[in-house]
Structure 1
Amino acid sequence: MAAIPLTVRGAARLKEELHRLKTVERPAVINAISEARAQGDLSENAEYDAAKERQGFIEGRISELEAKLSNSQIIDPSQLEADGRVVFGTTVDLEDLETGETVTYQVVGDTEADIRANLISVSSPIARALIGKSAGDVAEVQAPSGPREYAILEVRYI
């Protein structure tokens, strides 16, 4: 299995979720199952069915997180020496040349990508267009709405 790239912050978030699932969610669902069992006939017990379904989801998510963390390659952007170029983990300030809007993105792995938090996947069209470029360069992105051009204002390793 290929290594999954993660930033330090992304790995910490996955570890926190795994810890919460194991120490809070798993015990709660076990209690819910035992309470539902105590009610008697399991064949028509909706609480029991719901708790068993929730348990399956939690156990599946725990397995998924453990696999991701065991196969991850954790990259600390502050330790990178990329000579001002955009690489995995860097934070980039961009200006849309058409609208003049500025936006800041961090290039992260697929696992931790969240556009609402300005975390873009390294495999996304915009990240692929930015990789290897430096401040002052213009990146052309093939977006679904057509080509867009972004000026790279600043590249930070934080």
Structure 2
Amino acid sequence: MSADGRLVAAIASWMAIWWMTEAIPMAATFLLPIVLLPVLTPLSMAAVTAPYASPIVFLFLGGFLIAIALQKWNLHRRVALLTLRMVGTQPRRIVLGLMLAIGFLSMWVSNTATTLMMLPIGLSVITLVADRQADTAAGSDPNRRGPSRLTARAC
């Protein structure tokens, strides 16, 4: 392995140790190559930071920020409730409702961001259905047959 390869492996190992031990915040761990590579190699700061400015990185960052904002303001629960109110609580209808919501969001947001946004929405739908079934079981509904396949697999 070349000297540059050993240096990169050492920095990656250092970062992995910091990630696993959480010695410093993960966001600060990402900055370690930006600090070390210009100091230890002839690379310029611009050459080292160029991969951080990849459009793919910003695509994922935007999707994560939208998903976090959905969760912070409980919009994922509102969308889940609206979906359940529109399509019902039968498993096939829930899947149809989620497909419609995904299609609606995909018209304006990238597919990656839509996927990141729909994860908390889907989990909220499953939680709402499971809560509804628990309420039905508490009321001792004689027609109750047990947990549905949707919530039994997800919970």
TM-score normalized by the length of structure 1: 0.30
> Whose RCO is larger (CA < 8 A, sep 6+)?
1
Pair member with larger Rg: 2
TM-score normalized by the length of structure 2: 0.30
Higher helix proportion (structure 1 or 2): 2
Higher strand proportion (structure 1 or 2): 1
